[in-house]
Amino acid sequence: MKDVGSQDAARTASFRLARAGFVGTAIAFGPARMGFGLFLPAFRDDFALSPFHAGLIAGGGFSAFLAALLVAAWLCIRSGPRMAVLAGALSALSGFTLVALAGGPGLLAVGIALAGASAGLCWSPFNDAAGRVVPPAARSQTLSVIATGTTFGVAAAGGLALGVFWGLADWRLAWALFALAGLLAIFTAVTGLPAGRCQAPRMPLSPAMFRGAGVCPLYASAFVFGLANAAYLSFAADSVVSAGGLAGLPDKAAPSVIFISYGAFGLAGLATARIEARLGTRAVLAGVFCAFAVSLGLVAATPGSWPGIVLSAGLHGAAVMVISALLSVWSLRLFPEAGAIGMTAALVMLAIGSVLGALLAGSLIDLAGRRLAFLLLAAPPAIAALLAASSGLRRAG
């Protein structure tokens, strides 16, 4: 009877963690991380934002994400994963509220930064929490459920934005609804994550662990991922709107189609382990970066085409989810005794790439125009795809 009770308790803990993770990632990586790009056409009109200033605001959100990664690691060690995720939920709630109330670009920028920080606070703590409360046989399934929250959050935010751009509601109401979702994230964080500090690594950490040829491909991949993804999230939707939108829709409804497609195709990330086992890391990385390059190129080449834009968003969403899952597995293989810290190191490189990607995209659009800018932005992932295809890397780690 005692074993049955223990199993029931473990299942309950796993369910609560999966629920908290699903809700947390849906909010942090849905409206909090992608809401600015999704609603940029409305922000641009209401706040008279130039591409350069939009790039600065987007870069501020990604900079907050970078800082939050470090804060999350500190909170996790000091107070445990529950406190880190709770801080992320509170940050999302605050950011959403400020955006909904913003009367000018300054308050908008602060709100976007706070919302962006929530993603950095809510990512790595779930890995530690799963290791503590989920039985080994169920961890893969639990983490898959948590990861799926991202695709749901992106698609749901896109659907809400579609209602806004059809004139059914104001964008401020949408962000107020996001704030209510932040309250739900707070509740699930309190009830679903274990209390107490994260487990200390079983071996001493040293700076040498995070240097050397073995980790360079991981860091480089994370950096290019951040660069390409930030450019796409910040400006792809607005570029389609600026080109006249999609036939049959109000001009400003195009971002909703992009982000709904992005979220739906992102379900491909659930098959990452099977794809890598069959094809190897080199082929997966080459495919991911090729998808990034093509997605950016399609925004330049076919900004008013339904097939072109849906394919662009689908390729980008699938690539994001696949490489996100791969980075998590890859870092754990490289740092088996310090998986959370190893993952944070990779995410820092991702965040640096994201900041530079948003700023670079805004500057290139101002200087060269949208089409040429997106063609130029497709170059880094295209080069990365060629390097990955020609590398000797067979299996991550």
C-alpha span between 385 and 165 (Å, rounded): 36
CB 115 within 8 A of CB 99: yes
166 token code pair: 């059809």
| Spatial distance between the Cα atoms of 357 and 283, rounded to a whole number of angstroms | 24
**16, two tokens:** 């609560």
Structural domains in the chain plus CATH codes: 8-195+213-390 (1.20.1250.20)
Quote the CA–CA distance of 11 and 162 in Å, as a whole number. 38
Percent of the chain with pLDDT over 90: 42
Angle between helical axes of 81-101 and 31-47 (0-180°, round to 10) = 20
Angle at which helices 31-47 and 136-165 pack, to 10 degrees?
20
Q: Residue 203 pLDDT > 50, yes or no? A: no
pLDDT number for residue 223: 96
Q: What are the pLDDT digits (tens) for 275-293?
A: 888 888 889 999 999 999 9
- Residue-wise pLDDT for 315-340, tens only, equals 999 999 888 878 877 776 777 655 56
What mean pLDDT is predicted for residues 247-264? 84
Question: Could you read off the pLDDT of 372-390 as tens digits, one per residue?
Answer: 999 999 999 999 999 998 8
Look up tokens 């999302």; give the residue: 92
- Mean of the pLDDT values across residues 97-106? 95
